[in-house]
């Protein structure tokens, strides 16, 4: 159970910096969505940042846990 506790503590420690960085990038790009030419690019960038944030906070720790459990 030490691995689960370490993953939870690491997630709690990294949650705020990841959200602040991703939020700044998303909100900074939101202004570009008002431009008709670059609107699609801005929305895809915002969705990409959102997806990568969710991936790094949820998928990566779960995969690491599953790989480490299988190797033990």
The pLDDT tens digits of the residues spanning 13-58 come to 999 999 999 999 999 999 999 999 999 999 999 999 999 999 989 9
Sign of CA dihedral 23, 28, 30, 33: negative
Q: How far apart are CA 22 and CA 49, in angstroms?
A: 6
Whole-number pLDDT of residue 37: 94
- Count Cα neighbours of 21 within 13 Å in the Cβ-side half-sphere: 10
Q: How far apart are CA 34 and CA 25, in angstroms?
A: 16
Residue 11 confidence class, pLDDT cut points 50, 70, 90: confident
Higher pLDDT residue, 20 or 69? 20
Q: Where are the domains of the chain?
A: 2-71
In contact, 68 and 3? CB cutoff 8 Å = yes
Whole-number pLDDT of residue 3: 86
């Amino acid at each position: 159970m030490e691995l689960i506790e370490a993953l939870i503590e690491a997630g709690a420690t990294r949650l705020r910096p990841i959200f602040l960085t991703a939020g700044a990038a998303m909100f900074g790009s939101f202004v570009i969505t008002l431009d008709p030419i670059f609107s699609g690019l801005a929305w895809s960038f915002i969705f990409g940042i959102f997806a990568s944030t969710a991936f790094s906070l949820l998928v990566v720790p779960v995969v690491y846990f599953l790989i480490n459990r299988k190797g033990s």
